[in-house]
Structure 1
Amino acid sequence: MVRYAYIESLRGEHAITKMCAWLGVSRAGYYKWRKWVPSAREKRRLLVEKVVVNTFWEFKERYGAPRLKDELEDEGIPACKNHIAQLLAKNGLRARNGKGYKYFPAPNARNHVSDNLLRRNFTASKPDEKWVSDITYIKLNRGNAYLAVIMDLYSRKIIGWALDTSMTNQLIIDAFQMAVKNRGVEPGLILHSDRGVQYRSGEYQHLLLSQGIRPSMSRKGNCWDNAVIESFFARLKVESLYAEDITTKGKAYSCVFEYIEMFYNRKRRHSANGNISPEQYEQNYYAKCA
């Protein structure tokens, strides 16, 4: 089927007969493949496989067949644990739990990986010296919403954020553009993140470099290298999201907006700031500099 798909992608550029001969497949088989329409059962099988693989990566390789089964059932997709295990094996996937787990990065996992410039030094001497960024998910009635944030380590203020139902490059780019619009960016600023595929994208890396920003990334599989932003996500969920009935993207957006823009940045007393809000902490800094 892969060979037939390859021939289809080049149709019009080369003769079908020649391409079939080059790839060692029959022309009749190719035309039969083109006319093939998957049955309802086959469509469901392909859908379940796609959902299993996507959910596996969504949870960062932490869930095996039993927990993936629960996740799928929560989404209204009945699935058998053994069938999920077979699909994971078919795709060469294995959850990283237990002593037998070995990490084998995907071929593109090394692309655009930056050094860990932050080195768990979560202090800064002034605003816009060090930023940190990450993505978390918010469970909805159907699927998830994804929240990307950027925090200034000096005051712990959230200076950029974006929310959508897809975890794409555009999500972190929107958060980044908000941060740049809100702040004065000077060359040498460090922006730290994990090694997620979105943060390693060429488009995102180009945006950082175009602003003179120095990218920094956590070490492989080490969440503590970005502990401050993880702590923020924990407080957001405990102090806001878990107390609400988040059913839709709109509801998620409203809750996040209220928490970040109206409470966390302007009112919430932060222990790292001497128990004053991030906004007040920055105002005190600029008052001293005046």
Structure 2
Amino acid sequence: MAKRYNTYNRLVKQKAVRLMCEKGIEQVAKDLEVSESTLSRWELEYKRFGITSFCGSGRGYVRLNPEQKKIKELTRKIKFAQQKLEILKKASKYVSQGRLIVLQYIKDNAKVYPTTTMCKVLRIGIVAYYRWKRNFISEPQQRKNLISEEVKSIFFEFNQRHGSNTITIELQRRGYTISKTTVRRYMVKLGLCYKRNKKTKITTNSNHTNLIAPNILNRKFTVKEPSKVWVSDITYIRIRNSFMYLTIILDLFDRKIIGWNLSSSLTTLQTTIPAWEMAISNRKATNKLIFHSDRGAQYASKSFIERLSSHKNIIRSMSRKGNFWDNAIAENFFSALKKELIYRNSLFTKEQLKVEVFEFIENWYNKKRMHSFLKYKTIEEFDRFKNII
């Protein structure tokens, strides 16, 4: 039978060494039934390593005396300080980009530095880091989520008036490389789309005996200078109990609405004349200015023609009968107005409509809306570039 050996824990060994100082080695050996040679070995180890004695002989374990332990602690602190400096130096450019970027940095450098050290240095809770890591979203998915949020943000930032083309341009301005097809796919997924156009109401009455002008403009819609060609038109807007009528005058040079008026009737005094007065106060009518419109009675009336004639060399031009393409730019504006404002709201009251139309024309269309004709610049940006403002 193999001989059994007694085992003694660390506290017993330390107590035995202290008792040897009081009672002597022989008495302690007798009391504990331990050989004197074993007690001598315990005493020698205690004198050498002090309180770190009797920690076992596990594999890889190195016992240190107090001086060695102090050196080891100082070495550990120096190493931590060096790692801290390296981590801060490399991570400094990511800290300002937000918490998610810092978490990603820790994950990417887990094989370079201890995770606990990086979390401590960058002030990220270790529990929070591992919780984020468990719910980690891949970089491609993060990009998709980010683009979805940007598309939605732009759509609502501009009052739901941007389509896929203009949202694509805005995203590219913000640094994204993305195609119109991709943006359109995001918009469909998010349910962001225009309502369909509704049936229109005819506001042009060309059955009159007033003076009609020839089609001088002849669809030459590109103009190189301001106040060379102004176009005008009238459209209806349904309100709760009836209709309102919007008259606009637009400069073909920069597509700016320089004159407009919203009225409850189609008389010349409430449509074309107020819009004309606003236009000439906002932008000077130059020599040989072409004023183009349809053949409506409001444009062919004697009172309106007299207003035009009060300015020298203004050339009247009118679309051919029943041909709305001859005044396509004004029609395009009304299409944008109705898609981006009118069809997206329930029926307005008269007061609400006045406020909304003012906001749309003066603060949105003339200032913030991007125009494909202007190479996706706003009118303000285009005019600033051309030194018009």
Please indicate, yes or no, whether the TM-score normalized by the shorter chain is above 0.5. yes
> Partner of 1:142 in structure 2?
241
8 Å Cα contact 1:151-1:158 kept in structure 2: yes
8 Å Cα contact 1:134-1:229 kept in structure 2: yes
Q: Does 1:59 align with 2:159?
A: no
Q: Equivalents in 2 of 1:169, 1:61: separation in Å?
A: 12
Q: Does 1:262 align with 2:347?
A: no
After superposition, what is the alpha-carbon deviation per residue over 1:216-238, rounded to whole angstroms, capped at 9, x for unaligned? 10011110000111011000010
Q: Equivalents in 2 of 1:184, 1:194: separation in Å?
A: 22
Aligned residue type for 2:233 = D
Q: More deviation in 277-286 or 151-160?
A: 277-286
Aligned residue type for 1:178 = M
TM-score normalised by length of structure 2: 0.46
After superposition, what is the alpha-carbon deviation per residue over 1:158-194, rounded to whole angstroms, capped at 9, x for unaligned? 0000001111101110000000000111120111000
Q: Does 1:243 align with 2:344?
A: yes
Aligned residue type for 1:166 = S
TM-score normalised by length of structure 1: 0.62
Aligned mate of 2:386, from 278, 285, 288: 285
Q: Equivalents in 1 of 2:291, 2:340: separation in Å?
A: 26
| Offset of residue 146 of structure 1 | 0.2
> Partner of 1:227 in structure 2?
328
| Offset of residue 61 of structure 1 | 8.9
SS of the residue 2:370 aligns to: coil
Q: How many residues are matched?
A: 187
> Partner of 1:175 in structure 2?
275
After superposition, what is the alpha-carbon deviation per residue over 1:119-139, rounded to whole angstroms, capped at 9, x for unaligned? 001010111111100000000
Tell me: higher relative CO, structure 1 or 2? Use CA pairs within 8 A at least 6 residues apart: 1
Aligned residue type for 2:223 = A
Q: Which has the larger radius of gyration?
A: 2
SS of the residue 2:300 aligns to: coil
Aligned residue type for 2:338 = K
SS of the residue 1:131 aligns to: strand
Aligned mate of 2:315, from 214, 233, 238: 214
Mapping 1:1-290, distance limit 5 Å: 59=202, 106=207, 108-109=208-209, 111-170=210-269, 171-212=271-312, 213-286=314-387
- CA separation of 1:275/1:208 partners in 2, compared to 1, >3 Å: closer, same or farther? same
Aligned residue type for 1:185 = A
| Offset of residue 59 of structure 1 | 2.9
8 Å Cα contact 2:204-2:295 kept in structure 1: no
Aligned sequence identity (%):
43
8 Å Cα contact 2:235-2:334 kept in structure 1: yes
- CA separation of 1:61/1:232 partners in 2, compared to 1, >3 Å: closer, same or farther? closer
SS of the residue 2:260 aligns to: strand
8 Å Cα contact 2:204-2:297 kept in structure 1: no
* RMSD (CA atoms): 1.9
Q: Equivalents in 2 of 1:61, 1:178: separation in Å?
A: 22
- CA separation of 1:61/1:180 partners in 2, compared to 1, >3 Å: closer, same or farther? closer
Show structure 1 runs of 5+ residues with no match: 1-57, 63-104
